[in-house]
């Protein structure tokens, strides 16, 4: 089996290693426009040796932002700032990726440090808006009451994903992830905890998965055939009667048939009352299950911090790559350090840093 620092090829794209930077919201945009902060933040991780760098959850329409400070690709003016970042990531040897998202009923909240200076408590956004969702119930106290999407509204969201995907391709991204996890719009249609609709988008498994599959189909129609299309799923809601692993496996098979190349396996977010047994590698079994049972490539994510831990996930065939988030915030050069710890030939330091290689 390959190791952490062996290449990974998906469609026409080859990652130099199997370490990726997971999408992480920076809450630092105005009108959805990324800026120098995002260039430095993402660029440092590319220069740090990651094989894949995925830009944060990027809203496909303005009302789909988690907060007013989120990134967006809902208009053409937002393309070039992202293109500047994609070009830099590519020059550093990392594959530039982007996650397209719609927050749905969890939209219009304040950035974490604006909601609560002492922690990540959620609060309403100043100058916020009415979000949309599968239904009209709010996610939790402190969230705005959404407007339930009708069929025309569902079509509008689907077309927004499609248009944003076309813009992402124009910006030079070579890896695209559709966010269907963490209780955001697409996940809220999947989960019976959130979706109580009585039409063809609610009730049965086929109905609850309809919006996600239609969105994937729309995106695949404009995303270049040779480039990877991936989906992030919450593989379980961690609540009895909610979305679960068996449904994720079944959906993964349907996604593969629609042209999805990899599933990024996360969990939770659909219910404020979920009890999540977080711990090192606690979501890795989901990646392994989808890989083996659905026959699709997977990414493992969630409290993967140690080099030996990440390498073992790859060597044991539990996932095809690992995505790191907070650990990459702590150490942008984690891939170099991990390669040294493992005694493997990793990505060389940039020549500007070569004096530190000894």
- Among 178, 138, 140, 136, residue whose Cα is nearest residue 153: 136
Residue 300 φ/ψ region, left for φ over 0, alpha for ψ in the -120 to 50 degree band, beta for the rest: beta
Residues in CB range of 64: below 8 A, 6 or more apart: 74, 101, 102, 103, 104, 107, 157, 160, 185
Helix (H, G, I), strand (E, B) or coil at 189: helix
* Residues designated as active site: 184
Which residues are CB-contacts of 240 (< 8 A; sequence separation ≥ 6)?
none
> C-alpha distances in angstroms, 351 versus 16, 47, 163?
17, 10, 39
Q: How far apart are CA 112 and CA 264, in angstroms?
A: 24
DSSP, res 23:
P
Measured CA to CA, the distance from residue 204 to residue 222 in angstroms comes to 29
Provide the pairing of β-strand 321-324 with 297-301: parallel
Phi, psi values for residue 249, rounded to 5°: -60, -45
Residue with tokens 């530190």: 356
Tokens read off for 93: 């040897």
How is residue 316 written in tokens? 């044991």
How far are the Cα atoms of 92, 159, 246, 256, 318 from residue 295, in angstroms, in the given order?
Answer: 32, 29, 14, 9, 12
User: 134-160 b/e with 16+ CB inside 10 Å = b?
Assistant: bbeeebeeebbebeebeeeebeebbeb
């Amino acid at each position: 089996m390959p190791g952490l620092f062996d290449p990974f090829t998906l469609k026409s794209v080859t990652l130099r290693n199997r370490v990726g930077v997971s999408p992480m919201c920076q809450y630092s945009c105005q009108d959805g426009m990324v800026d120098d902060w995002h260039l430095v933040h993402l660029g440092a991780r590319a220069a740090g040796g990651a094989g894949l760098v995925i830009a944060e959850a990027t809203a496909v329409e303005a009302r789909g932002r988690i907060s007013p400070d989120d990134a967006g690709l809902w208009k053409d003016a937002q393309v070039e700032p992202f293109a500047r970042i994609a070009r830099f990531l590519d020059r550093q040897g990392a594959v530039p990726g982007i996650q397209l998202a719609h927050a749905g009923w969890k939209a219009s909240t304040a950035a974490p440090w604006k909601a609560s200076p002492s922690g990540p408590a959620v609060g309403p956004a100043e100058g916020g808006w009415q979000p949309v969702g599968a239904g009209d119930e709010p996610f939790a106290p402190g969230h705005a009451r959404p407007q339930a999407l009708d069929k025309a509204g569902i079509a509008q969201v689907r077309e927004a994903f499609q248009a944003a995907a076309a813009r992402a391709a124009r910006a030079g991204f070579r890896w695209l992830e559709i966010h269907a996890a963490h209780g955001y719009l697409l996940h809220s249609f999947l989960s019976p905890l959130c979706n109580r609709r009585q039409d063809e988008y609610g009730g049965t498994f086929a109905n609850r998965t309809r919006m996600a599959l239609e969105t994937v189909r729309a995106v695949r129609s404009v995303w270049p055939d040779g480039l990877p299309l991936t989906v992030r799923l919450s593989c379980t809601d961690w609540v009895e009667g909610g979305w679960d692993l068996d449904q994720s496996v079944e959906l993964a098979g349907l996604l593969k048939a629609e042209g999805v190349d990899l599933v990024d396996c996360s969990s939770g977010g659909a219910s404020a009352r979920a009890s999540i047994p977080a711990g090192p590698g606690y979501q890795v079994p989901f990646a392994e299950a989808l890989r083996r049972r659905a026959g699709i490539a997977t990414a493992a994510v969630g409290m993967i911090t140690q080099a030996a831990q990440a390498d073992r996930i790859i060597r044991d065939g539990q996932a095809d790559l690992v995505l790191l988030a907070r650990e990459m915030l702590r150490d942008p050069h984690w891939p170099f350090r991990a390669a040294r710890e493992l005694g493997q030939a990793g990505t060389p330091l940039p020549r500007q840093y070569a004096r530190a290689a000894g």
